[in-house]
Amino acid sequence: MFAWFSRRAFSTTNSLCKKQAGRYKPSKHKGKHLTYEQACPPYLIAHWKSWLSWNTGGMLDGVRTAETVMDDMFIRKFMFGTFHRLFLTEVIVKRRHNMIYVGGVIDQSTLPRKIYFLTGYTEELLSYVLKCPVKLELQSVPHRDDVTYRIV
């Protein structure tokens, strides 16, 4: 009498079923618009996007690396929640000395009064939560198609 757990099985996967991360699959009708960050292939990330990831956190010999990563994740999620459906690119977080600079491209179709309010609100709240000055550097474009780098 054999139990189901006493049998040994050899499991294989199909070698033709390859998955690749970081690449966008071409669409049938060439209608998928990619931004500069999305069009970067995985093997060129170090060359194309290295300027977006440099910060002064390395000067402390890795003392606050975990806190820096968690702070950056919090900033990105907070920005996408506050500026709901306004960001057209990724949120860029740069740390210079004691300041945190947050940048990105937003849609210009919103009222300027709303953008000014959200900018001030975000700067004040993030400065209070992170206990260091936060400065937003937002660029606006009139149309969503203006940030298209490549169409696949």
Domain that holds residue 93: 33-151
Q: Is residue 7 part of a domain?
A: no
36-95 per-position pLDDT tens digit: 888 888 888 777 777 766 666 666 666 677 788 889 999 999 999 999 989 998 899 988
Assign residue 65 the CATH number of its domain.
3.30.70.1350
- Verdict on whether the full-model pTM lies above 0.85: no
Say if 59 falls within a structural domain: yes
Residue 40 lies inside a defined structural domain of this protein: yes
Residue 135 inside a domain? The answer is yes
Alpha helical stretches, state H, the chain: 45-48, 65-82, 112-130
pLDDT of 128 reads 97
Task: Kindly state the greatest CA–CA separation across the chain.
Answer: 77
Secondary structure of 15-36 as H, E, C letters: CCCCCCCCCCCCCCCCCCEECC
Question: Is 16 within the bounds of a domain?
Answer: no
2-11, 24-33, 60-69, 95-104: which range is least confident on average? 2-11
Could you tell me if residue 112 is inside a domain?
A: yes
Q: Which pLDDT belongs to residue 19?
A: 67
Question: Measured between alpha carbons, how far is 57 from 71 in angstroms, rounded to an integer?
Answer: 12
CB 101 within 8 A of CB 137: yes
Q: Check: CB of residue 91 under 8 Å from CB of residue 127.
A: no
Query: What is the pLDDT at residue 90?
Result: 87
Residue 83: what residue type?
Answer: F
Which residues lie across from 134 on neighbouring strands?
Answer: 100
75 part of a folded domain = yes
Number of domains in the chain: 1
